[in-house]
Amino acid sequence: MNAAASVSAPAAVAKRPKRPRGSRLRAAALALPLVAFIVVTFIAPLGTMLVRSVHAPVVADAMSETVALLGDWDGGSLPAEAVFATAARELLKAREDRVIGQVATRVNRVQAGLRSAVTRTARRLRGLQPESWRAAMIETHAAWGEVDTWRALLLAGERYTGRNYLHALDLKRDAAGDIVAQPSEQRIYMALLARTLAVSLAITLLCLLLGYPVAYFIAHAPPGRANWLLLLVLVPFWTSLLVRTTSWIVLLQSQGVVNDLLVLIGLVNDDERLALIYNLNGTLVAMTHVLLPFMVLPLYSVMRTIPATHMSAAASLGAGFGKAFWRVYWPQTLPGVGAGSLLVFILSIGYYITPALVGGRTGQLISNMIAFHMQQSLNWGLAAALGGILLACVVALYLVYDRLVGVERMKLG
Amino acid sequence: MLTASAGAPVMTSARHLGPGHYAHVVFCVLVFVFLIAPILVVVPLSFNAQPYFTFTEGMLRLDPDAYSLRWYTMVATSDAWLRALANSFLIGGSATALATALGTLAALGLSNPAMPARPLVMGLLISPMVTPVVISAAGMFFFYSTLGLTQTYLGLILAHAALGTPFVVITVTATLTGFDNNLLRAAASLGAGPWRSFRRVQLPIIAPGVASGALFAFATSFDEVVTVLFMGGLEQRTIPREMWAGIREQISPAILAVATLLIIFAVALMVTVEWLRRRSQRERG
């Protein structure tokens, strides 16, 4: 070991610049403010989201003693009177502390229908001094007389839980604690994830299909014309996403420009206007439009470096255009194809705005479900778990991109 | 089938090329129409005298009465739109200043060959650009609310600055790859300290890259709606946020007037960035 280290050390020293430490420190010091800024404003939020996807402290905090007592419970029959008394006390306390609504929501997510058991009991028990808390609680709500309710309370009391991820994967734990599939009518998230991946793949292929010939055209046009054509690709790139989405609504809605035109030339009857938007079609068309520049630009920058003489040489050796293209040109553009396709795919699996505005019901993607749980159902734990799954997909693709293309070679405009 | 004659540059001359070439040209023209036409179509419609989203008969006959500036007047006199404009510039301007300062510094460090853990740092700094905004916005909502920063300008400025920094890092790093470090050594040998040689020698040369990065960061903030949706209050509504509301609720042609103004703004930004890019390319030879 020592011998090897002493052999290689001088060589390494010789390679380094003269003042390595000072230089390294200065470079690191320059980057440090932004690294710190990104860690605080961006990485910490992502971390918070991931923590929230597994961290559910509401019941564990508000009903800590009940949950502890239930830990020793056999689970076969109703808990002892002491558990009822503790639960009643902690429910009343939770109501005083104004967290009873959160406790009810949390318990209700474990077992639907228990919300009113929690809130009503906490309301009605106030001021009572009954002989038996068990009898009093069962009287306010019959659910307390069932073993499943207490099991749900115990599960809701887990401070760290995989429930959100199970839910996001269309799984759940049954009464016995085994992981089973959700009933088929409640399996929505995996189908949505599959649709998101399929739609992203379709958009990537559409962009490649439309973008490749265009990039070729621009790359091999005379320089002056190429600059103008590039501007045509860049205009959509710079135009506000909301403007472009508005444009597609104006064009494609049932009273829109395209339908008017089709009616005018008699291809479509006035009362049978085509549903071109507010469905999957709207998402596909608008997103292809939005993401096409991200395909054309990397392709163009690769194609520009391929000398025209390569194709000429192939032709002079007797290859027709098809063969010369396939054997000589296409392989050289593969880095651009890979870079553009990965970029478009990464951007599309996380897309939110365009599907939300023009996707209707059938054109929604996984991001829209995250936004729904963030803003409407307020099931933030589930939103965070779905976000965690989507983030894992994006990070995996980002690493592939970094390996194949190199993040450092990412260019703009 | 498209054939290229030996010796002639491929695709530069149509004379010796077959129908395949014309098919290719027609295809490309159609794709360009697909790219541009949807953006252009809102421009004439924003002058519609009627509250419709399609061309009226009068407009098609080029009847002057069918056109009007009523939607522009409506926007220019609307408190909501004017406040949104002010908010967009306040948030965008502050976020851009922050992102440009931090991003340029970091790019200077990253361009130094001595920079430790360079690929890792670069990957970290670029990550806000590729992370889906819904995820970033959800995380920011959770984290910033614990700091009391939701529904504040500061919260949105920090969020938009974070989303904008990758663009500054990328453009300035790209500009610095062409920078001749001997110039700094020359400045140092003439007695300039590090700050002075940066200020007087390096910054003027990389200025176009810095300016492009700043414009990219500004455009990012100016077009960003998801963090505003998740974190902003009524006070902090920006232009995209108003457009979002307008599209989701009853859309009025006033949106088309705003869209037209935004298109003009986008073209101005784009032309500026292209001009800067070509200038810095020319300077580097």
Q: Do B122 and A241 touch (CB under 8 A)?
A: no
**Torsions phi, psi of A106, nearest 5?**
-65, -45
pLDDT on residue A203: 97
- Binary contact (B11, A43; C-beta < 8 A): no
Q: Is B282 on the interface with A (CB under 8 A)?
A: no
How confident is the model at residue A317, as a pLDDT? 87
Q: What is the CATH number of the domain that holds B119?
A: 1.10.3720.10
Between A196 and B181, the more confident residue is: A196
CB-CB under 8 Å, B102 with A37:
yes
Whether A310 shows a pLDDT value over 70: the answer reads yes
In angstroms, the separation between the Cα of residue A48 and the nearest Cα of chain B is 6
Question: Which tens digit of pLDDT belongs to each residue from A55-82?
Answer: 989 899 999 999 999 888 887 888 988 8
Q: Does B255 fall in a domain?
A: yes
Cβ contact B223–A248 (<8 Å): no
Contact A260 B54 (CB under 8 A): yes
Is the domain covering A189-409 a CATH 3.40.50.1100 domain? no
- Which backbone phi and psi does A377 adopt, to 5 degrees? -75, -20
Using a CB-CB cut-off of 8 Å, the residues of chain B touching A26 are 109, 112, 114
CA distance A139 to chain B (A): 39
| Chain B closest-CA separation from residue A29 CA (Å) | 7
A413 and B165 within 8 Å at the Cβ level: the answer is: no
- What is the predicted pLDDT for the residue at B16? 53
DSSP states along chain B: -----TTSPTTS-STT--HHHHHHHHHHHHHHHHHHHHHHHHHHHTTBSSS-SS--HHHHTT-GGGB-SHHHHHHHT-HHHHHHHHHHHHHHHHHHHHHHHHHHHHHHHHTSTT-TTHHHHHHHHHHHHHS-HHHHHHHHHHHHHHTT-TTSHHHHHHHHHHHHHHHHHHHHHHHHTT--THHHHHHHHTT--HHHHIIIIIHHHHHHHHHHHHHHHHHHHHT--HHHHHH--GGG--HHHHHHHHHHS---THHHHHHHHHHHHHHHHHHHHHHHHHHHHHHH-
Which residue does chain B place closest to A389, by CA atoms? B135
Task: Pick A213's closest partner by Cβ from B12, B24, B167.
Answer: B24
CB within 8 Å: A41 and B161: yes
Q: Is the pLDDT of residue B74 over 50?
A: yes
Instruction: Name which of A15, A242, A259 to mutate to probe chain B: the one with the most chain B Cβ atoms within 10 A of its Cβ.
Output: A242
B27, part of any domain: no
Does residue B26 sit within a domain?
A: no
> Is residue B50 assigned to a domain?
no
Q: Residue B5 has what pLDDT?
A: 34
**Average pLDDT over every residue of B189-212:** 89
Average pLDDT, chain A: 87
Inter-chain Cβ pairs, chain A and chain B, closer than 8 A: 323
Res A12: pLDDT:
42
Per the model's pLDDT, the better-predicted residue between A391 and A109 turns out to be: A391
Q: What is the pLDDT of residue B177?
A: 83
Which residues of chain B have a CB within 8 Å of the CB of A345? Answer: none
Put simply, the answer to whether B6 touches A49 (Cβ < 8 Å) is no
Give the per-residue pLDDT at B61.
82
Cα-based angle A234, A236, A238 (whole degrees, multiple of 5): 70
The H or E element containing residue A172 is strand A171-173
* Residue B81 near chain A (CB below 8 Å): no
Residues 6 or more apart whose CB falls under 8 angstroms from that of B101 comprise none
Chain A, 247 to 266: residues with Cβ < 8 Å from chain B are 247-251, 253, 255-257, 260
Which A residues, 303 through 342, put their C-beta within 8 Å of a C-beta on chain B?
308, 311-312, 315-316, 320-322, 324
Residue B55, domain member (yes or no)? no
Between A8-12, A183-187, B75-79, the lowest mean confidence (pLDDT) is in A8-12
Instruction: Answer whether residue B120 is part of any domain.
Output: yes
Query: What's the pLDDT score for residue B250?
Result: 67
The answer to whether residue A126 scores a pLDDT higher than 50 is yes
Q: Closest Cα of chain B to A119: distance in Å?
A: 26
Contact B102/A28, CB-based, under 8 Å?
Answer: no
Which residues in chain B touch residue A312, judged by CB atoms under 8 angstroms apart?
A: 4, 6-10
ipTM of the complex: 0.88
What is the least distance, in Å, from the CA of B126 to any CA of chain A? 8
Given a contact cutoff of 8 angstroms between Cβ atoms, the answer to whether B16 and B5 are in contact is yes
Say yes or no to pLDDT of A5 above 60. no
Q: Given CB atoms, is B245 within the 8 Å cutoff of chain A?
A: no
Give the residue from B2, B5, B10, B169 with the most A CB atoms within 10 Å of its CB, the best one to mutate.
Answer: B10
Q: Is the pLDDT of residue A8 over 50?
A: no
Chain B residues 109-148 within an 8 A CB cutoff of chain A: 109-110, 112-116, 119, 121-128, 130-136, 138-144, 146
Question: Confidence band (pLDDT; 50, 70, 90) for B14?
Answer: very low
What residues of chain B lie within 8 A of the CB of A408, using their CB? 119, 122, 173
Highest averaged pLDDT of the listed ranges B20-24, B146-150, B231-235: B146-150
State how many domains chain B has. Answer: 1
Model confidence at A412, pLDDT cuts 50, 70, 90, reads low
Confidence of residue B153 (pLDDT cuts 50, 70, 90): very high
Of the spans A130-134, A199-203, A351-355, B252-256, which averages the highest pLDDT? A199-203
Q: Residue B132: which of A221, A244, A394 has the nearest Cβ?
A: A394
> Which range marks the domain in which residue B197 is found?
78-284
State what percent of residues in chain A have pLDDT above 90.
42
Residue B135: pLDDT band (50, 70, 90) is very high
For chain B, how far is it from start to end, CA to CA, in angstroms? 40
Query: Looking at the partner chain, which of A35, A245, A351 has a beta carbon nearest the beta carbon of B124?
Result: A35
Higher pLDDT, A375 or B278: A375
Mean pLDDT of A269-295: 90
| Alpha-carbon distance values, A364 to A216, A343, A348, B23 (Å) | 33, 20, 12, 35
Q: Is the dihedral of CA B24, B25, B30, B34 positive or negative?
A: positive
Q: Which of the four pLDDT bands, split at 50, 70 and 90, describes residue A2?
A: very low
pLDDT tens across A192-232, in order?
Answer: 999 999 999 999 999 999 999 999 999 988 888 888 898 89
Confidence bin at B53 (pLDDT 50/70/90): confident
Are B142 and A49 inside 8 Å of each other by CB?
yes
pLDDT, position A110: 85
